[in-house]
Homo-oligomer: A and B are copies of this chain.
Amino acid sequence: MKLSANEEYGLRCLVRIGYAGEGGSLTIPEMSQAEGVSPAYAAKILRVLRKGGFVKAARGKDGGYTLARPAEAIVIGDVMDALGGRIFESSFCDSHSGQAAICTRSVDCSVRSLWRAVQVAVDQVLSKATLRDLLQNEEEMNTWVRTIPGARGLHVIQ
């Protein structure tokens, strides 16, 4: 249950583009320098964001990447799904079943129930966060986090 490199860099890149503002754009070399990754890798990450419909690309001179919609219309949960998939998917128990066709307890599995609960807990945060929220500074973001319904206590490690 770790963040993948795709998720980490993908979200950071999207935030950078968001910072460029309405109509502003960022090129691959700029992104590469801003995040400290190779241009080729930045290109690969930006491709995922483009295919997910979060950014638009313009080619040629004066080209670059731009948000496909206003920042407040980009839900971070959707971005994360595009970048790295979900913790619990219905297909999960099929693909982690060893030699058996499915989890040997699939008709009545308390573990599955726990995974679902974890997934929902994560979704509660990610489905309420938009790119607009991430364009704030860290302190404002911390304040925002505490407003998530059902997430009282989230300040404990801030």
Contacts and interface: CB of A to CB of B under 8 A. Distances in A.
Contacts of A87: 1-3
A152 B150 contact: yes
A148 B61 CA distance: 55
A131 to B, nearest CB: 10
A154 B113 CA distance: 11
B151 A117 contact: yes
B111 A158 contact: no
Chain A interface size band reads 35 or more
A90 to B, nearest CB: 10
A108 B7 contact: no
Interface string A8-21: 11011001000000
Most chain B beta-carbon contacts within 10 A, residue among A9, A36, A88, A109: A36
Contact of A92 (B3, B118, B120): B3
A113 to B, nearest CB: 4
Contacts of A141: 110, 113-114
Most chain B beta-carbon contacts within 10 A, residue among A86, A117, A141: A117
A134 interface: yes
